[in-house]
Amino acid sequence: MSEPRQTFRYKKLADEIESRIHSGVYQPGEKLPSIRQLHSQMNLSISTIHQAYIELETTGLIEARPKSGYYVSPISLNRLKPPEFDKIPAAPQKVALGAMVNSVLAAINNPRMLPLGSSSVSSELLPCRHFTRMLKTVSVQEMKGLLSYSLTEGNPELRRQIALRTMGLPKGIGPADIVITNGCTEAVTLCLQAILRPGDTLAIETPTHFGFLQLLRSLGLMVVEVPTHPRHGVDIGELEKILKKTPVRACLFMPNFQNPLGALMPDEKKEELVNLLNRLEIPVIEDDICGEMYYEEKQRPSLLKHFDRKDLVLTCSSFSKILAPGLRIGWAIPGKRFKDEILRHKAGTTVATSTLDQALIARFLSEGAYDRHLRTLRQAIKSQTFKTAWAILKHFPADTRLALPRGGSLLWVRLDRGISSLDIYEKALAHHISILPGTVCSVSGQFGNYIRIGCGHPFTDETEKGIETLGALIDECLHKEVSQGAASVLS
């Protein structure tokens, strides 16, 4: 769906100015050309230039000063440095999760907490009014059908709508290739069950989504961790070394805006990864739940499935992160090799997915509101993520590292090596702030000095104050560590 020409013009100008800010052409604190200057120089309307400046101000890149004009933010995101990970030799191991995981989940879902530990999007950013209107139009006759069981593979119209959205990604995907599931987690679970048996070894990213670790433990799988770059995703060289010495039966990766890193794997790396796994006949499950959450890219990132030549890539996704988390509508595109086995597992466990929920999503997609919603959501998430990154730069110690993502709503933050993320997590709870300690994102005890910050909720004064409090808690731990070190030397 094309955008109006006026929208295109102000977005193009905003993107050009943003690029100049990030490249250092416009320096932190520098005054930008006035609206009238740009009007004369670029032959653009005053309203177009004004709208571009408003968009840049919304993301926090620039600020308006009364009677003075627009200025680049005094804090530069160019100061941000991505974390650097140690490449620890990998060996298969069981997933063991302590009671801490239950505490983390409770804190994330506690409405009295500032939700910096959450990866979800605020309901304020979801199309609640549109869904309310749709529900009011459902007739009694329609409702009779919607209260019955759905097909195991899912609502035909919903599968058609999802197939339409794969245009230009994997070639030739049709409704019959799609299986509707109860969220992305069920899609991933069904794919794992179709390929693996308890005791088999699965290759996963490290750090990884802590929800995956809970799932893999319940399935009785062994895991081998593959080092993952905070910008470019899975380290293919390290994966190749692992595959030469470890009997890996399958891989589970998140190539687009990985949780918790936010990493986006470039197309050439995706192709290299799929070619390697195709050659070795190893299936790979790709979780693409955040693929539509891009905001630095010009178009939707490609899928691993796009490069698959042997029907060994199983793609999973859902609407939970971008549209309606409570409806729990996800899907799998497993390919012909695994589809029948996946349907057999689904029929034997959850039987089918909610008929009413599927119908609501299908209608929303068919009415053409989805792309408009996504444009608004991406801009809001980008603004919130940038503002949170600036607040971290402002309030955290100077040696803090994080990789600014190009999509998604997560920031993976490295603290001083002497800091325990579990200590910060517990101290933050006392201030009614939830964060995710990095230790729950690995089975090998790594990332003890990392935290994940979620940016899916509107950035408010409360958010700023919460990040300032976190910074103070980290400083307090640093000073305590220094004092203890000095005391140890003196003794």
Q: In this structure, what CATH number is given to the domain that contains residue 417?
A: 3.90.1150.10
Q: Which residue has the tokens 């929920």?
A: 357
For the segment 445-474, the average pLDDT, to the nearest whole number, is 95
Pair 38, 148 in one domain:
no
Q: Mean pLDDT lowest for which of 63-72, 113-122, 134-143, 422-431?
A: 63-72
Residue 489 has pLDDT above 70, yes or no: no
Q: Render pLDDT for 229-239 as a digit per residue (tens, 0 to 9).
A: 999 999 999 99
Q: How confident is the model at residue 90 (pLDDT cuts 50, 70, 90)?
A: confident
Residue 140 resides in a domain: yes
Instruction: For residue range 244-277, list pLDDT tens digits in order.
Output: 999 999 999 999 999 999 999 999 999 999 999 9
| pLDDT for the residue numbered 78 | 64
- How much is the pTM? 0.88
Cα within 13 Å of Cα(276), Cβ side: 20
Residue 394 included in any domain: yes
Q: Encoding tokens for residue 85?
A: 């990970």
Q: Which has the minimum average pLDDT: 56-70, 318-332, 451-465?
A: 56-70
C-alpha closest to that of 108 among 124, 126, 120? 120
Per-residue model confidence (pLDDT) at position 1: 42
For the chain, what is the HEC assignment?
CCCCHHHHHHHHHHHHHHHHHHHCCCCCCCECCCHHHHHHHHCCCHHHHHHHHHHHHHCCCEEEECCCEEEECCCCHHHCCCCCCCCCCCCCEECCCCCHHHHHHHHHCCCCCEECCCCCCCHHHCCHHHHHHHHHCCCHHHHHHHCCCCCCCCCHHHHHHHHHCCCCCCCCCCHHHCEEEEHHHHHHHHHHHHHCCCCCEEEEEECCCHHHHHHHHHCCCEEEEEEEECCCEECHHHHHHHHHHCCEEEEEECCECCCCCCCECCHHHHHHHHHHHHHCCCCEEEECCCCCCECCCCCCCCCHHHHCCCCCEEEEEECCCCCCHHHCEEEEECCHHHHHHHHHHHHHCCCCCCHHHHHHHHHHHHCCCHHHHHHHHHHHHHHHHHHHHHHHHHHCCCCCEECCCCECCEEEEECCCCCCHHHHHHHHHHCCEECEEHHHHCCCCCCCCEEEEECCCCCCHHHHHHHHHHHHHHHHHHHHHHHHHHHHHHC
How many domains does the chain divide into? 3
84's CB contacts (< 8 A; 6+ apart) are 401
Residue 486 in any domain: the answer is yes
CA distance 194 to 338: 7
Based on the domain organization, do 363 and 379 belong to the same domain?
Answer: no
How far lies 20's CA from each of 23, 116, 476, in Å?
Answer: 5, 30, 37
Residue 82 lies in a domain: no
Q: Which of 368, 396, 414 is the last residue of a domain?
A: 368
Within a domain: residue 202? yes
Residues 403 and 353 in one domain: no
Quick one: pLDDT at residue 468? 97
Please state the rounded mean pLDDT for residues 119-136.
Answer: 95
Boundary (domain end) residue, out of 368, 391, 420: 368
Both 321 and 445 in a single domain? no
Q: Are residues 301 and 344 in the same domain?
A: yes
C-alpha to C-alpha distance for 167 and 154, rounded to whole angstroms: 20
Q: Is residue 89 domain-resident?
A: no
Q: What is the CATH number of the domain that holds 21?
A: 1.10.10.10
> CATH number of the domain that 288 lies in?
3.40.640.10
Assess whether 54 and 161 both reside in one domain: no
In this structure, are 363 and 430 located in the same domain? no
Q: Looking at the structure, do residues 314 and 456 belong to the same domain, yes or no?
A: no
Judge contact between 121 and 249, C-beta under 8 A: no
Beta-carbon contacts of 316 under 8 Å, excluding residues fewer than 6 positions away, are 181, 184, 187, 188, 191, 285, 286, 287, 288, 289, 330, 331, 332, 333
pLDDT at 40 (0 to 100):
87
* 153 in the same domain as 104: no
On the CB side of 123, CA atoms within 13 Å amount to 7
- How much is the pLDDT for 2? 44
**Which tokens hold the place of 436?**
């995710």
Domain boundary among 368, 400, 421: 368
Decide: 204 and 226 in contact? Cβ < 8 Å.
yes
Whether residues 245 and 313 share a domain: the answer is yes
Q: Both 176 and 301 in a single domain?
A: yes
pLDDT-derived band of residue 490, with 50, 70 and 90 as boundaries? Answer: very low
Amino acid letter, 200: D
> Does 84 map to a domain?
no
> Look-up: residue for tokens 């320096």?
27
- 139 and 116 in a common domain: no
| 125-153: average pLDDT | 94
C-alpha dist (Å) from residue 102 to 108, 117, 302, 421: 10, 13, 35, 16
**pLDDT band for position 170 (50/70/90)?**
confident
Q: Which domain holds residue 343?
A: 128-368
- pLDDT band of 7, cuts 50, 70, 90: low
Evaluate whether residue 86 is within a structural domain. no
423, 435 contact by CB (below 8 A) = no
